[in-house]
Structure 1
Amino acid sequence: MSMGHYSEQRPGFEVTKDWNGGDQVVIRSPRGASVLVSLHGGQVVSWRNERGEELLFTSSKAIFKPPKAMRGGIPICFPQFGNCGTLEQHGFARNRIWTVDDEAPPLNHNDNNGKASVDLLLKPSEDDLKCWPHCFEFRLRVSLSMDGDLSLVSRVRNVNGKPFSFSFAYHTYLSVSDISEVRIEGLETLDYLDNLSQRERFTEQGDAITFESEVDRVYVGSPSVIAVLDHEKKRTFIVRKEGLPDVVVWNPWDKKSKTMADFGDEEYKQMLCVDAAAVERAITLKPGEEWTGKLELSAVASTNCSDHLDYPCS
């Protein structure tokens, strides 16, 4: 999308330029919450509440320049999560330039009620088709509710003449006060694949997940709602999801942090990745079929947070 000036107002959002001259979209709620989405990767790079507090983590050493995805926010991992086969790690969607989709088909009424949103579109380039020979249309709707809740709805359609399979994740970097003060509720008793042990399968034994060392796990068959409690900030993130059976939990801890060029040595203390994902079993689409995966994030004051686990994804 070409623009001859710095800022362009659209219904529900505004298109501006980032510091590299790339297009980005600003969505604001009437109460002051905001979301910033980069067209590089279709990546949410900022989510602030009505008090202006940043809710997502971005590394101070993040590289804000294509072709690499920025370390932080919510990169879109498609058509693979992880590093396997001939594709780049976490797939190519997070490293491509998306377009604003002015002709996006409507979602149902509940997905649009009282929300400001932007629709983005990604189609494969000729280079993409060489490394992953499947024609698709990927539509992403990023929305902000009146209350400042962030939702992402991904729709992948097969416009191919043959079936294809993919894995997917919203690679969500949450900002936390201190990783040692954080716990996750809703994943207890579940099986998980441990990426630190060649994807060996274990069963979660704790009443909640807490952090004392590096964690890189895929919790399979997870419930539609989980909670991430930050005791020091007295804040709880409620993660609601649909069409995404797995949850990836990742924190690199100190040793791994020192090996990443775009990540500060001590920054593992201020972040936690909790990804709504489809990783264990690939999603397969026949010609003409469409898959939908939804994520909704809320940040609420911590009280008795288990109450929030009963809410469905709206």
Structure 2
Amino acid sequence: MAEKTTCQYVERCKGVNGLDKVILREVRGFSAEVYLYGGQVTSWKNEHGEELLFVSNKATFKHLKVINGGVQICFPQFGSHSSLEQCGFARNREWCIDPDPPPFGTSSSNKAFIDLILKHSEEGVKNWPHRYEFRLRVTLGPGGDLMLTSRIRNTNTDGKPFTFTFSYQTYFAISDISEVRVEGLETLDYLDNLKNRERFTEQGDAITFESEVDKIYVSTPTKIAILDHEKKRTFVLRKDGLPDAVVWNPWDKKAKAMPDFGDDEYEHMLCVDATCVEMPITLKPGEEWKGRQELSAVPSSYCSSRR
């Protein structure tokens, strides 16, 4: 099934191992792929067909296994600090195409998009005893920007609120981790997951990489830049409703310990995530939360004025 216009089209088809996916395309050559399993973006290509997201060559495209890479939806928790499965269950569930999406507050003209929905299941209630509706819109803009907008509503009928943390765990494809720097998080406080979430303050005028990093930056700006010197490309991450940001690279030792990750693949990926983790979100029945992440890829000169 394909829905086409003169500017873009949306196609539903089968992906790896027969999993359902949706392809978003734009007439100038931009594209994105979204798997219904996990509600996960697994590909985002520019007009030259270059892949901008990292997915491991060893990624498992099977139910009950997380697809390692792309943009993972981490809900209702991010991390492994409770009895819930690590980084929540949303990335391990089959999402449905939303037959009746609410207005998302932005014009859909000249954009290819898909609306997905995830609701509670009786089986899932055993692990997380709440009812919810999670609506996700994935949009490919006419300039190639990739936008993810999440709306989470508490639909409990017992009057109980629920609390959650959230992340768009985003794996960027990069030339070489030693050639990359992150700007926009300088001088900010962060929680170091490698040191039991001890709090520190970032030093220096940019973040560079020479060993494993797993940091949660708090109270971050709405724009973060990831500069890839070798490719002369800058990823710009803009976010709304997500005050924190995670920066992660497993480096060599941890990469070798992950069965669905290549030993040397850490050199060609970097996670920078729009996140809400320091101050969890609480919703009363009927209340809704909205969080958005927008990604663009531009020539590196775009951010040279910051130096």
Which category of TM-score, normalised to the shorter sequence, fits these structures? over 0.9
Q: SS in structure 1 opposite 2:178?
A: helix
TM-score if structure 2 supplies the norm length? 0.96
Per-residue deviation at 1:30?
1.4
Note if contact 2:184-2:224 (Cα within 8 Å) is conserved in structure 1. Answer: yes
Partner of 1:162: 160
Q: Which 4+ runs in 1 deviate beyond 4 A?
A: 306-309
Q: Does 1:300 align with 2:298?
A: yes
Residue number among 128, 135, 141 corresponding to 1:139 in the alignment: 135
Q: CA–CA distance in 2 between the matches of 1:267 and 1:304?
A: 27
Q: SS in structure 2 opposite 1:280?
A: strand
Q: Does 1:10 align with 2:6?
A: no
Query: What letter is aligned with 1:56?
Result: L
Per-residue deviation at 1:306?
5.1
Q: CA–CA distance in 2 between the matches of 1:307 and 1:281?
A: 33
Note if contact 1:238-1:308 (Cα within 8 Å) is conserved in structure 2. Answer: no
Per-residue deviation at 1:113?
4.4
Per-residue deviation at 1:10?
3.1
Q: SS in structure 2 opposite 1:109?
A: coil
Q: SS in structure 2 opposite 1:61?
A: coil
Residue number among 79, 91, 111 corresponding to 2:88 in the alignment: 91
Percent identical residues: 63
Q: Does 1:130 align with 2:126?
A: yes
What whole-Å deviation, never above 9, does each CA across 1:167-225 have from its counterpart, x for those lacking one? 00000000000000000000001000000000000000110000000000000000000
Per-residue deviation at 1:307?
5.2
Residue number among 284, 287, 291 corresponding to 1:286 in the alignment: 284
Partner of 1:101: 98
Q: Does 1:41 align with 2:34?
A: no
Partner of 1:4: none
Per-residue deviation at 1:280?
0.7
Structure 2 unaligned regions, length at least 5:
none
Alpha carbon RMSD of aligned pairs, Å? 1.3
Q: SS in structure 1 opposite 2:275?
A: strand
Moved more, 148-157 or 59-68: 59-68
Q: CA–CA distance in 2 between the matches of 1:84 and 1:194?
A: 14
Q: CA–CA distance in 2 between the matches of 1:114 and 1:281?
A: 36
What whole-Å deviation, never above 9, does each CA across 1:91-110 have from its counterpart, x for those lacking one? 00000000001210111135
Per-residue deviation at 1:85?
1.9
Partner of 2:25: 28
Q: CA–CA distance in 2 between the matches of 1:308 and 1:169?
A: 27
TM-score if structure 1 supplies the norm length? 0.94
Partner of 2:269: 271
What whole-Å deviation, never above 9, does each CA across 1:144-179 have from its counterpart, x for those lacking one? 011100000000001112110000000000000000
